[in-house]
Amino acid sequence: MKMTWWIFMSLLTIQIILIQYMVEEYLAGHFERLLYYVGGLGLMFVLTIITYIFFRKVDKVMDH
């Protein structure tokens, strides 16, 4: 499923960008902003897992 691959890759890209911002904020000494990035990263992680489970079930339905 081509659509699944692109959605999954876009969610991973967002996670990589959030990690980059977290490292930049940490190195700049802005520790108070790290909590927001951790929350955003956690949300993206949960969305990625939900998307994976959804498309896995869709794939099973299409096989039958």
Give, for all 64 residues of the chain, the pLDDT tens digit: 667 778 888 888 988 999 999 999 999 999 998 899 999 999 988 988 898 888 888 888 877 7
Extract the tokens encoding 4.
Answer: 């699944």
Sequence-distant (6+) residues with CB within 8 A of 4 are: 55, 58, 59
Confidence (pLDDT) at 1: 61
With left for phi above 0 and alpha for psi between -120 and 50, is residue 30 left, alpha or beta?
A: beta
CA dihedral of residues 32, 38, 40, 59 (deg, nearest 10) = 180
Confidence (pLDDT) at 23: 94
